[in-house]
Structure 1
């Protein structure tokens, strides 16, 4: 029997979960958002260091309206209508500045930025 190797992940400050499922965005906008994040995070200096952001795809959050939908963890902040322009705001204001973009938040769970919206 082969030995299972323990995976390793580098340190990160936030983890972005992007819904790429067809019920959220029937025309592939969620996947396009995910694909664009690498360049956006790199341009903002968020691919290394203290503010490093990790990103992952999710196939469904069961929040199937107003997509693309993005969740920022551990902050517990859920965004809807994450267009390329709105993603630029989220990167600048939330990921770099630490303050959620209130007009794009549809749910705020427990977490580091858990303030009533």
Structure 2
């Protein structure tokens, strides 16, 4: 008799924020510190639950190793660079909460040339 594979479950979310925490993305652990701060930032913006809930995940490498920390907002396909703590506040409040991209921090937008 074999063990049945259990189908995983995940809570509903509106957007998924991917944060590169690889060693080449930023120096001195800045990307990991940024990721660690996200729980509080999302909660403060009201994005930790409800219909606008944002899921966050660490990624070990995006292969876009300059200008980090780098984050990607999915399913929007918006890629941000130079994501300092202050810039993350802008992304959380403007993009994730209010739906307005932070244009001066975008280095790639899926679907646009």
Same fold (TM over 0.5): yes
Partner in structure 2 of residue 25 of structure 1: 26
Deviation at 1:26, TM superposition (A): 2.5
For 2:59 and 2:92, how far apart are their aligned partners in 1? 19
Structure 1 stretches of 4+ with a deviation exceeding 3 A read: none
Alignment of 1:59-98 (within 5 A): 59-98=60-99
Matched, 1:103 2:104: yes
Partner in structure 2 of residue 113 of structure 1: none
Deviation at 1:4, TM superposition (A): 1.1
Give the paired residue count. Answer: 112
Deviation at 1:35, TM superposition (A): 0.5
Q: State the secondary structure of the residue aligned to 1:91.
A: helix
1:33-82 Cα offsets, whole Å, 9 max, x none, are 11000000001100111100000000000000000000000000000000
Alignment of 1:49-64 (within 5 A): 49-64=50-65
Partner in structure 2 of residue 42 of structure 1: 43
Partner in structure 1 of residue 7 of structure 2: 6
For 1:87 and 1:49, how far apart are their aligned partners in 2? 21
Q: State the secondary structure of the residue aligned to 2:27.
A: coil
Q: State the secondary structure of the residue aligned to 1:107.
A: strand
Q: State the secondary structure of the residue aligned to 1:17.
A: strand
For 1:63 and 1:18, how far apart are their aligned partners in 2? 12
For 1:56 and 1:8, how far apart are their aligned partners in 2? 16
For 1:56 and 1:41, how far apart are their aligned partners in 2? 13
